[in-house]
């Protein structure tokens, strides 16, 4: 069975202006790889309703899962929840269980659950809440879309809540080899190897470190015996 596929949609003007550097994409990429889910595409867009609706529709149709990050806070430009509702033609409103979670959280911290904060309890009809152990305001899953916060610590915690429930395919096995040659010298033999093992993914990642240069070659695949065989072939090619 092939691995499930995924896309990520990162929402936020502050990323596109260069003000903030995204951290969530790199984190999610690593977690999905470990879970055996292939992240195929990431899009970053601004807090624009039309852009969110059309990206959610396109990506949720094209991949098995879509993870979103950002735009679910209390301010006027946090429009992810209502845009996702629109993408699936679902009504959205304050949900009692979400409001209760927020009320308990703000009561504990002595803050007011005002109208702005109450926006964070607006959940599209039919969605499942995603727990937020850090600041209470929940994310949600609807259809195959998992809507999460942009703040990295909260995003990471939500990913940890969501991932175990998604059925991973066979985990990808990988082996890597450090080769102290220029990429141009590695390219030929690597191309031959890719032809011999069409089901494996073979990547070449150059490095320069402490005056030494070379590349990490990473071989990935669901079939461990094939990965082993390809790695042995690679090692014998570049044995000193």
- Spatial contact of 186 and 204, defined as CB atoms under 8 Å apart: yes
114 or 128: CB nearest a second copy: 114
210 or 240: CB nearest a second copy: 210
Distance CA 32, CA 236 (A): 32
Which residues lie near a second copy (CB under 8 A)?
13-22, 25-33, 38-46, 51, 73-77, 111-112, 114-117, 151, 182-188, 190-191, 194, 201-213, 218, 220
114 or 232: CB nearest a second copy: 114
Find the shortest distance in angstroms from Cβ 126 to a second copy. Answer: 27
Structure tokens at 156: 């990471």
CB neighbour class for 40 (10 Å; exposed up to 12, middle 13-18, buried from 19):
middle
CA atoms within 13 A on the CB side of 187: 5
Distance CA 79, CA 30 (A): 27
What is the end-to-end Cα distance of the chain in Å, rounded? 39
Output the CA torsion 94→98→101→107 (10° steps): -10
100 or 181: CB nearest a second copy: 181
109 or 236: CB nearest a second copy: 109
- Spatial contact of 122 and 71, defined as CB atoms under 8 Å apart: no
């Amino acid at each position: 069975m092939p691995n499930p596929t995924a896309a990520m949609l990162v929402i936020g003007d502050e990323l596109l202006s260069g003000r903030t550097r995204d951290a969530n994409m790199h984190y999610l990429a690593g977690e999905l790889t470990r879970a055996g889910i292939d992240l195929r595409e990431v899009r970053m867009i601004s807090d624009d309703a039309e852009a969110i609706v059309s990206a959610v529709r396109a990506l949720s149709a094209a991949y098995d899962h879509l993870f979103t990050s950002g735009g679910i806070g209390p301010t006027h430009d946090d429009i992810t929840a209502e845009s996702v509702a629109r993408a699936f033609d679902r009504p959205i409103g304050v949900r009692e269980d979400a409001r209760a979670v927020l009320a308990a959280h703000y009561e504990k911290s002595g803050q007011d659950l005002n109208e702005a904060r109450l926006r964070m309890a607006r959940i599209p009809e039919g969605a499942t809440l995603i727990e937020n152990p850090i600041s209470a305001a929940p994310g949600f899953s609807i259809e195959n879309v998992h809507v999460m916060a942009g703040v990295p610590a909260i995003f990471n915690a939500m990913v940890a809540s969501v991932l175990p429930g998604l059925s991973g395919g066979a985990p990808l096995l990988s082996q890597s080899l450090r080769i102290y040659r220029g990429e141009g010298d590695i390219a030929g033999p690597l191309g031959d190897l890719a032809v011999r093992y069409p089901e494996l993914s073979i990547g070449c990642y150059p490095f320069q470190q402490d005056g030494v240069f070379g590349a990490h070659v990473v071989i990935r695949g669901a079939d461990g015996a094939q990965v082993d065989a390809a790695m042995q072939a690679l090692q014998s090619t570049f044995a000193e």
